[in-house]
Amino acid sequence: MQLLARHNLPSSPPAVFGMSGDDYITLAMLRTALSATGKLRLNVCGRSMAPLLRPGDAIWVEQVVVTDLRRGDIIVMWHDGSLLTHRLMLLGDRWQTKGDNCRTLDSPIAAELIVGRVMAAERGWQQINFRHRHWVIWNRLIGQMSLAHGRIYSGGARIVGRRAL
CATH number at residue 78: 2.10.109.10
Using a 10 angstrom Cβ sphere, with 0-12 exposed, 13-18 middle and 19 or more buried, the burial of residue 133 is exposed
Q: What is the pTM of this model?
A: 0.82
Task: Decide if 12 is inside a domain.
Answer: no
Task: Decide if 62 is inside a domain.
Answer: yes
Structural domain total, the chain = 1
Q: Render pLDDT for 52-106 as a digit per residue (tens, 0 to 9).
A: 999 999 999 999 999 999 999 999 998 888 899 999 998 777 789 999 999 888 9
**Hey, which residues does 79 pair with through a beta bridge?**
82
Q: Render pLDDT for 102-121 as a digit per residue (tens, 0 to 9).
A: 988 898 988 888 999 999 99
Cα Rg of the chain (Å, integer): 16
